[in-house]
């Protein structure tokens, strides 16, 4: 089944719109524009958009319990306080440095598990190189420990956790991989195991990019290059696809008062197309689950 209804939010056009996060207390959507070193906020109730400049490219972010944010940037993980529309942000405070294998790397996709540990992958910025120097990291803010749990990644993406937290998903978007893996996840220890192929995206439209989970435990993955967002059931069956008005959807997230709106960010590729790089909202007919906040 292909659904097509969408509503554009704001008039911004991001270079690479990524990591949309619905902030339920503020009833607002946040996301990052990676190459433009910018963080965006949109208030659906008022239609107001705000943005803040950042000192480094930020691939992903997570809410913190004190109302601030954890930012996965180029050189490490940083914390920043609550962002107030119309006010300048505080300077990000480094909480972990990442030992990149090369100088041309940054963090990419990331999110918290259900227990509040932050997971994020790193990548070589020039994906045309196909360099498998990326790693998947876990950050425990309570202890301040950043450790590696998977290496040889090219473009890590698609991180998501099942509603009960016992299943972890991870993709590699690179054209030579185009795979989504699933892992058993020890919620107490915060360790994935028994990794196996969940989806071979060579069999479906698009490369696997950012993802979200709905309340039924289904996995929503952006089909980059194909202009679609796909919903897969927990047993790996394609349930439906939704068309989006740009070729490169980057990541999706559930939000809205009832978590029944799917927000989709995109990558700007066509200067003549006003929707290339835009963010849209869709009603997929299912509800998502609240995004966890960073613990510690």
Catalytic residues: 209
CB under 8 Å to 4, separation ≥6 — which residues? 242, 243
- Position of tokens 């719109």? 17
Length of the chain: 296
- How far apart CA 169 and CA 137 sit, in angstroms, is 14
The 8-class DSSP code of residue 27 comes to T
- How far apart CA 278 and CA 41 sit, in angstroms, is 13
Handedness of CA 31, 32, 38, 39 (dihedral sign): positive
CA-closest candidate to residue 210, choices 158, 281, 263: 158
CA separation, residue 143 to residues 113, 117, 140, 165, 296 (Å): 16, 10, 6, 21, 8
Contact 291, 280 (CB under 8 A): no
- Concatenate the DSSP letters of all residues of 100-151 into one string: -SSSSEEEEEEEE-TTS-EEEEEEES-GGG----EEEEEEETTTTEEEEEEE
Number of H helices and number of E strands within the chain? 0, 25
């Amino acid at each position: 089944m292909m659904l097509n209804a969408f509503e554009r939010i704001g008039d911004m056009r991001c270079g690479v719109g990524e990591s949309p996060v619905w902030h339920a207390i503020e009833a607002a959507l946040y996301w990052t524009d990676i190459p433009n070193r910018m963080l965006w906020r949109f208030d659906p109730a008022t239609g107001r958009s705000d943005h803040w400049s950042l000192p480094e490219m930020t691939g992903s972010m997570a809410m913190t319990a004190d109302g601030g944010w954890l930012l996965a940037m180029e050189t490490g993980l940083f914390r920043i306080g609550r962002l107030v529309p119309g006010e300048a942000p505080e300077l990000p405070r480094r909480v972990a440095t990442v030992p990149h294998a090369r100088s041309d790397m940054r963090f990419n996709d990331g999110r918290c598990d259900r227990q509040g540990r932050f997971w994020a992958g790193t990548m070589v910025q020039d994906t045309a190189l196909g360099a498998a120097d990326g790693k998947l990291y876990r950050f425990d803010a309570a202890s301040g420990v950043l450790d590696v749990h998977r290496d040889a990644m090219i473009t890590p993406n698609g991180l998501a956790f099942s509603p009960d937290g016992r299943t972890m998903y991870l993709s590699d978007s690179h054209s030579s991989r185009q795979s989504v893996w699933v892992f058993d996840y020890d919620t107490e220890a915060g360790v994935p195991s028994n990794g196996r192929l969940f989806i071979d995206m060579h069999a479906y439209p698009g490369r696997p990019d950012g993802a979200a989970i709905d309340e039924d435990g289904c996995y929503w993955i952006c089909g980059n290059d194909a202009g679609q967002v796909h919903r897969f059931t927990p047993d790996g069956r394609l349930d439906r696809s939704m068309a989006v008005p740009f070729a490169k959807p980057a990541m999706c997230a559930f939000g809205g008062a009832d978590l029944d709106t799917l927000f989709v960010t995109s990558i700007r590729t066509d200067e003549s197309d006003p929707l290339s790089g835009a963010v849209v909202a869709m009603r997929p007919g299912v509800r998502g689950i609240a995004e966890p906040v960073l613990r510690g």
